[in-house]
Structure 1
Amino acid sequence: MSATGPQPEGFYERTIPYAIHGGFMTTFRPEDRYTVISSDTHAGGSHAMYREYLDRQWHEEFDAWRGKYKNPFSDLGDARRYRNWDDEMRNSQQDSDGVVGEVIFPNTVPPFFPSFVLFARPPKADEYPRRLAGIRAHNRWLADFCNRAPERRAGIGQIFLNDIDDAIADVRWIKEHNLRGGVLLPTIPPDVDWIKPLNHPDYDRLWAVCEELEVPVNVHGGTGAPAYAPHPSSALIMLSEVAHYSRRPLLFLMLSGVFERFPRLKLVMTEQGSAWLPPLLNQLDGILKSVRDNGAVGELRFKPEHVLPKSATEYFRQNVWLGVSFPKVADVRAAREVLGVDKFMWGSDYPHDEGTYPYTTLALRQVFHDWPEADVRKVLAENAAQVYGFDLDALGPRAAELGPTVAEVVRPLTELPDNPNEALLANAPAA
């Protein structure tokens, strides 16, 4: 039975032709299924769990901190919070949604953090030792969490940039403990002056280690915004600006020559869409061309050692991948027409409310129904397998049982289910 009801007798017993892009014909077996790896999910431990992974020297302070901590996020305060760490609940929900592999970003609140892990500002000098102990506790927890399902889980470890030697040590630990997702790069807000900006040459030691160890560097959307005054309008202002701040690491690494010096470094921009990128690359291509050709843009002059030999588009193709969570039609169009399907990895954002669960197959039908099967396989699994080291053969048996069928995904979604989620509504035709 498909997501929209039973099909006529014999529907799944024949090979079905379908047309793509004005007449290109291909065929598939209706029993064929896609392997689905989400490039964006979230998990984390409870405070009780983190205590077991925290260095003992911090236990007394942690207990005092934990007793005063009030969690403002509702998704961590009811039964849904168990999705973050309960293997049976998490795996069964992912299985029911057809997702057999996941790249795992943090989600809960590590020890000594002031707020939700992705939104917490970088620690100041007096906060750093405790916060560092907190993310190391999370990384230890995550390594064990991933080891319980190593074929389906690629965990992303956390680092701070306050001390580059500590960051390098943590990158090496992350690699040694098989957190295949790599590292989450802290996005430095523009009002943070106690940490060096990402274009500082001192970070070259860190990029060199990530390149050498083939550790992906991940940047997640929703991060990097400055502190806002506590006014009712501040939340709306933050929502309107945060996308820009989340994208700044791409600009800092590209334009400071990091991609030129480290051509094998992998940067992944996750939960940030992709439709914004073609016009930005076009703009940057023009700027860099003017600098190469004239040594200047307008009245701004550049020394020869500051001239980048490649275009922004070339650096993107060399160093950057996109983890596009709950993609919109404009995002998939940008991938097909400009960015390239090899750079695009689909994400569910499980277990967040704005993600595709529990309607992932319906969401895939909305945006990929007119794509060639080979390209869909790339964005649903093959690209993520390349970047994060998933074994597609190991995932194959479960995908053959649980993945959405090619026959389902090729059918446009013409009717939403009752109580559709945010992801479906975002791509629904205007009434």
Structure 2
Amino acid sequence: MTTTPELPRIVSVDDHVIEPAHLFSTWLPERYRDRGPRPLTAGIGELAYVGGKYHFTMDPAGPAADWWVYEDLRFPYKRNIAAVGFTRDEMTLEGITRAQMRPGCWDPAERLRDMDLNHVEASLCFPTFPRFCGQTFAEARDKEVALACVRAYNDWMVEEWCGDSGGRLIPLCLIPLWDVGLAVAEIRRNAARGVRAVTFSEIPTHLGLPSIHSGYWDPFFAVCEDTGTVVSMHIGSSSQMPAASPDAPPAVQAALSFNNAMASMADFLFSGVLVRFPRLRLAYAEGQMGWIPYALERADAVWAEHRAWGGVRDTVPEPPSSYYYRQIYCCFFRDLHGVASLDAVGRDNATFETDYPHVDSTFPHTREVALEHTRGLDDETVWKLLRGNAIRMLGLDLDADRVANAAPVRSPETARSRSGEPGAGPGAGPTATQAL
């Protein structure tokens, strides 16, 4: 008789929520509601994705979709971002209504049921209509209303989406990106009620905001460090995807999406931010991890050979990889090469995700995918990848004794020593050619 290996229940650090139609009518103060986002069900014309941007029109004769109307913005929900329940060939750019979605996309009780089906204990969810780090509100003209919308979203996230989940739905909040002082205040407001994660842009300058090198964001980083708030950055949170030929199909950008996380991480490693704020934690969502070993090798080589003329001699006193192992988390869901390179990626730096309900989601087969990726790994490493590192990163009230006893490994050398495999390296564990 064949038995299926036991697998710890997953803590997913990257999922998504489709906002319910009542969000702003319930949580936005009444004086702002006529100027805030309004839900609408209306026909949609043909959708296209060109150069990293969606192109669409409202069309009364077209199929119905649920929209948000906010200032001049018309934002439709699309099938590829509410894809669970559809076959791969059905995950198109067609518009979709909430009634056509799997209810777990927007209903927290149904989400918990889907998590049970999918071997997931806890989930951190990024926004959809506000976009990955709240760009929708940062781009609005009326910043008084925009600030009220950020706060309303956060109140809904904490009190309604996560409130009755028993801690299984983990709050991820927005900041008003346009004002660092307001951002600091919002971090403190949410931290006071137990929030330990905030979403931020991978490359703020792409949004017309100051760079992380400028010092402008230091008060934000300081309050995140002080409150234990993780700065979580999703691919595409710069409102750009990696460029290729302008007429390339969207599949090219999807294949290159990890480039955003790689560029952002290099930015941070050479910025001095992690030097000035040694307890600050960064997390990259949906970036995968197979690229990290060479990115760190190259960063360390640049630091060793070029730091004087390269402008980082006085701001980055140690090899950049040391800050990565100390302060940065990556995440994966389909990355056999990354698992095979785990000693270089860092067994204490990698976390897992399901990407529910996006087109990339492993739902409802996440357990099988996780088993395939962790085959041959020791139990402690499996626990760290699927839940332990996420619990430690987010300060969750789970597995307290085990987390306390799992001292982080800070470098590939000590990782190999702790694992008892002095010859371990990129060839250890599952191979990159294993099929899912």
SS of 2:138's equivalent in the other structure is coil
SS of 1:222's equivalent in the other structure is coil
Matched residue type, 2:221: W
Q: 1:322 aligns with which of 330, 340, 343?
A: 330
CA distance in 2, matches of 1:119, 1:176: 21
Q: 1:220 aligns with which of 234, 250, 253?
A: 234
Q: 1:204 aligns with which of 218, 226, 240?
A: 218
Q: CA RMSD in A?
A: 3.2
1:85 aligns with 2:106: yes
CA distance in 1, matches of 2:345, 2:175: 29
Deviations 1:166-185 (A, max 9, x none): 110111122112223x1001
How far does residue 160 in structure 1 lie from its aligned partner after superposition? 3.2
How far does residue 152 in structure 1 lie from its aligned partner after superposition? 1.4
Provide the identity percentage. 23
CA distance in 2, matches of 1:281, 1:122: 35
Matched residue type, 1:331: G
Deviations 1:281-336 (A, max 9, x none): 111101111245xx23xxx5x48534x11111101011101122x2321121222x
1:109 aligns with 2:142: no
Structure 1 runs not aligned, ≥5 long: 1-6, 13-29, 111-115, 397-425
How far does residue 391 in structure 1 lie from its aligned partner after superposition? 2.2
1:343 aligns with 2:363: no
Contact 1:185–1:219 (8 Å) recurs in 2: yes
SS of 1:37's equivalent in the other structure is strand
CA distance in 2, matches of 1:70, 1:206: 29
Deviations 1:187-234 (A, max 9, x none): 3465543x21122112111111111111111011233254999x7547
Deviations 1:107-143 (A, max 9, x none): x314xxxxx5569567347254443332222111110
Counterpart for residue 40 of structure 1: 14
Distance 1:339 1:88, change over 3 A: same
Which has the higher Rg, Structure 1 or Structure 2? 1
1:157 aligns with 2:173: yes
CA distance in 2, matches of 1:151, 1:138: 18
CA distance in 2, matches of 1:249, 1:318: 17
Counterpart for residue 76 of structure 2: 71
Distance 1:287 1:148, change over 3 A: same
CA distance in 1, matches of 2:284, 2:249: 25
Counterpart for residue 404 of structure 1: none
Q: 1:270 aligns with which of 274, 285, 288?
A: 285
CA distance in 1, matches of 2:149, 2:247: 31
Distance 1:248 1:61, change over 3 A: same
How far does residue 276 in structure 1 lie from its aligned partner after superposition? 0.8
CA distance in 1, matches of 2:401, 2:354: 18
1:254 aligns with 2:278: no
Contact 2:16–2:355 (8 Å) recurs in 1: yes
| TM-score normalised per structure 1 | 0.74
How far does residue 65 in structure 1 lie from its aligned partner after superposition? 7.6
Contact 2:282–2:328 (8 Å) recurs in 1: yes
Matched residue type, 1:357: F
How far does residue 48 in structure 1 lie from its aligned partner after superposition? 1.7
Matched residue type, 1:197: S
Distance 1:199 1:63, change over 3 A: closer
| TM-score normalised per structure 2 | 0.73
Distance 1:56 1:201, change over 3 A: same
Matched residue type, 1:57: R
How far does residue 254 in structure 1 lie from its aligned partner after superposition? 2.0
How far does residue 366 in structure 1 lie from its aligned partner after superposition? 1.6
Counterpart for residue 332 of structure 1: 339
Matched residue type, 2:318: K
Counterpart for residue 295 of structure 2: 280
* Structure richer in helix, relative to its length: 1
SS of 1:134's equivalent in the other structure is helix
Distance 1:97 1:263, change over 3 A: same
Between 161-170 and 347-356, report the one with greater CA deviation.
347-356
Between 259-268 and 116-125, report the one with greater CA deviation.
116-125
Contact 2:132–2:236 (8 Å) recurs in 1: no
CA distance in 2, matches of 1:377, 1:197: 36
Q: Which has the higher contact order (CA 8 A, sep 6+)?
A: 1
Between 57-66 and 138-147, report the one with greater CA deviation.
57-66
Distance 1:162 1:63, change over 3 A: closer
SS of 2:229's equivalent in the other structure is coil
1:171 aligns with 2:187: yes
CA distance in 2, matches of 1:349, 1:39: 9
Distance 1:394 1:141, change over 3 A: farther
How far does residue 373 in structure 1 lie from its aligned partner after superposition? 1.4
The count of residues paired between Structure 1 and Structure 2 equals 358
Q: 1:379 aligns with which of 372, 377, 385?
A: 385
Matched residue type, 1:55: P
Deviations 1:56-90 (A, max 9, x none): 22211236685754514122524325313323321
